[in-house]
Amino acid sequence: MMTQKNGIRYSSLLTLPGVVHGYSTRALGDARIRTNTDMIVRNLTDRALPLLHAAQVHGNAVSIVDSATTGVVPLADGLVSGTDNILLEVHVADCVPMLFFDPVARVVAAVHAGWKGTLAHIAKNAVARMTESGATPKNILVSIGPHIGGCCYTVPESRAQQFLATFNTVPPVAAKENGEWHLDIGQANRFELLDAGIVPDHIDAPIVCTSCQIDAFYSFRKDSRETFGEIIGVIGLVS
């Protein structure tokens, strides 16, 4: 379940002491613009904390970062941290953002899952990298943030078939409706998390479609070149 305050959406699952997290909305502007990002972060925490993000190259690599890491982490689509007082950021407009927190081991992750990264099992890689950092799958809480829903995400048949071959779920992650293949990329990632040992109750995946809810978010598919922007998901341990 998500709540909203000051233009930030929060997952009820991750609203816990010792961690800050949230997703920006359109009301706070295009997060590719530095001044907007700064404002979003100020709405999340009153402390000036370093913000790290992965280069997001539609791969499946997840990097472990610490206080020595600065700026953009190359070749990665996900970041894991067990270090206090740094923020991890993921930026999206239709792709799936995921925020992870193990409250026992105190390890967090921020992950970008486009269709390529989803097929390449980035969600499972994130759980594995968190485990290397001391986390335990059964303790990890995951928020699947705003992304394009199966309602609006039409894909070529070849891509739908790739997903059906990779994710054997009920209901299926792709289906043909009125002659078009629709892909539920959030459901594919949810399945992947369950397969990695995440407890069903520890996954917060509300139905929030960036294309249907274009007033609240940005959509690569629905926005025009003039109106397009990105939102960010942010998570960090604080002490």
Q: Which residues bind Zn ion (CB under 5 A)?
A: 149, 151-152, 209, 211-212
- The residues pairing with 41 across neighbouring beta strands, listed in sequence order, are none
Decide: 128 and 61 in contact? Cβ < 8 Å: no
The one-letter code for the residue type at 46 is D
Residue nearer to Zn ion on the CB measure, 52 or 209: 209
CB of 187 to Zn ion, least distance (A): 13
- For the bound state, the minimum distance from the C-beta of residue 211 to Zn ion, rounded and expressed in Å, comes to 5
Of 184 and 192, nearer to Zn ion (C-beta) is: 184
Cα distance between the two ends of the chain: 26
Shortest Å distance, C-beta 31 to Zn ion? 21
The smaller minimum CB distance to Zn ion, of residues 152 and 155, is found at: 152
Q: Which residues in the chain belong to E strands, given as ranges?
A: 2-5, 8-11, 19-24, 51-54, 62-65, 72-73, 78-81, 86-92, 96-102, 107-113, 141-144, 154-155, 174-177, 180-183, 203-204, 231-237
Q: Which is nearer to Zn ion, 21 or 190 (CB)?
A: 190
Smallest separation, CB 210 to Zn ion (Å): 8
Compute the C-alpha angle 141/143/148, nearest 5°: 155
CB of 212 to Zn ion, least distance (A): 3
Nearer to Zn ion, 101 or 153 (CB): 153
Beta bridge partners of residue 89, listed in sequence order: 53, 234
